[in-house]
């Protein structure tokens, strides 16, 4: 009988200690709705990352700048463009104004390895990118590889880029500037 009472006391003591911890763990677990929202948010951010490359390649400058928050920033090295109008002017300076019906047959970007970290109505992400350009024989040639470090914000119910830092890796920023200068000069 004493052993049964001892077992009962141990069980009761364990339950007294374990139940509050179990209740706390259940209360802290996200609901299905919260989990679904996180998945939808991450997917929406990944779509922005993809749309960034697609709109850039299509020279769809209006579509490109709407991916940024109203006061969004694009940064690369010492170049900082703040606000949609400044970012659009940067694109026109880089690529020129596209002719009507423009179809890009010369280059494309691929963005990949996105690591998205959500925090309520803000998020951060890092991803990699590669720019391919038409080579001398018409084959795609990888020309530039880099990293994006992003800050996102939910603006009017949609995820927007608050700040994108574009860091060339291969070639370096200085090497890439030289390549672009030579390409523009027709060398």
Using pLDDT thresholds of 50, 70 and 90, give the confidence band for residue 185.
confident
Chain-centre distance for alpha carbon 10: 52
Distance from C-alpha of 88 to C-alpha of 81, rounded to nearest angstrom: 9
CA angle 95, 97, 56 (to 5 degrees): 50
Chain segment 42-85, per-residue pLDDT in tens: 999 999 999 999 999 999 999 999 999 999 999 998 999 999 99
Chain segment 2-48, per-residue pLDDT in tens: 667 767 676 656 556 666 655 555 668 989 999 999 999 999 999 99
Q: Kindly tell me if the per-residue pLDDT of 158 is higher than 90.
A: yes
Distance from C-alpha of 44 to C-alpha of 171, rounded to nearest angstrom: 30
Q: 116 or 21: whose pLDDT is higher?
A: 116
Residues in the chain: 187
Mean pLDDT of the chain: 89
Q: Kindly tell me if the per-residue pLDDT of 148 is higher than 90.
A: yes
Q: Kindly tell me if the per-residue pLDDT of 174 is higher than 60.
A: yes
Total-model pTM: 0.80
User: Which pLDDT belongs to residue 19?
Assistant: 61
Max CA distance (Å), the chain: 97
Using pLDDT thresholds of 50, 70 and 90, give the confidence band for residue 186.
confident
3-state secondary structure of 110: strand
Region 97-114: what's the mean pLDDT?
94
């Amino acid at each position: 009988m004493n052993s049964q009472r001892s077992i009962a006391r141990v069980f009761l003591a364990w339950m007294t200690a374990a139940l509050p911890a179990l209740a706390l763990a259940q209360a802290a677990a996200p609901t299905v709705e919260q989990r679904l929202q996180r998945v939808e948010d991450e997917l929406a951010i990944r779509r922005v990352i993809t749309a960034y490359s697609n709109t850039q390649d299509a020279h769809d400058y209006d579509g490109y700048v709407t991916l940024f928050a109203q006061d969004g920033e694009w940064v690369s090295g010492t170049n900082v463009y703040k606000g949609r109008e400044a970012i659009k002017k940067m694109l026109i300076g880089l690529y020129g104004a596209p002719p009507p019906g423009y179809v890009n047959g010369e280059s494309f970007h691929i963005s990949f390895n996105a690591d998205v970290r959500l925090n309520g109505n803000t998020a951060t992400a890092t991803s990699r990118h590669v720019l391919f350009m038409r080579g001398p024989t018409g084959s795609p040639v990888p020309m530039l590889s880099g990293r994006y470090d992003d800050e996102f914000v939910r603006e009017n119910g949609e995820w927007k880029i608050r700040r994108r830092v574009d860091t060339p890796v291969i070639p370096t920023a200085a090497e890439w500037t030289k390549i672009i200068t030579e390409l523009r000069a027709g060398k």
